[in-house]
Amino acid sequence: MENGNLFQHIPAELPDELAETLLTSGTLKIERIVSQGHRSAPGCWYDQDLGEWVVLLKGEAGLRFAKDEHTMHLTPGMYVHIPAHEKHRVEWTSAEEATVWLAVFY
């Protein structure tokens, strides 16, 4: 058995976004992602082979899909299902505090 706390062991400084794999089983992968002022590179869109279900646990973020003109403002507790090959990007994350995501890829 393995256990932990999603809000512990967050570095005081995050020069790069932190993605940690918590569990893998077959095509299932669960990650904790920690951002602080990070965003997708200009013009970069994620186009993933796997579906993703992601929940924002702490902080704030802006998530945009290529098919939409607006940016979703995510706050703690909000989740999004992103089907495989649904192009999306992170427009912004909180600069003042760590933004903690839990992402389930399947």
**Residues 10 and 34: beta-carbon distance below 8 Å:** yes
CA 11/CA 15 separation, integer angstroms: 10
The reported pLDDT for the residue numbered 17 is 96
Average pLDDT of the residues of the chain? 96
CA 35/CA 37 separation, integer angstroms: 6
Backbone angles phi and psi of 38, in degrees to 5: -85, 155
Amino acid occupying residue 68: D
With a cut of 70, list the residues of the chain below it in pLDDT.
Answer: none
Amino acid occupying residue 4: G
The reported pLDDT for the residue numbered 18 is 97
Of 82, 2, 87, nearest to 74 by C-alpha is 82
Q: Which CATH architecture has domain 18-105?
A: Sandwich (2.60)
| pTM greater than 0.85 | yes
The reported pLDDT for the residue numbered 69 is 85
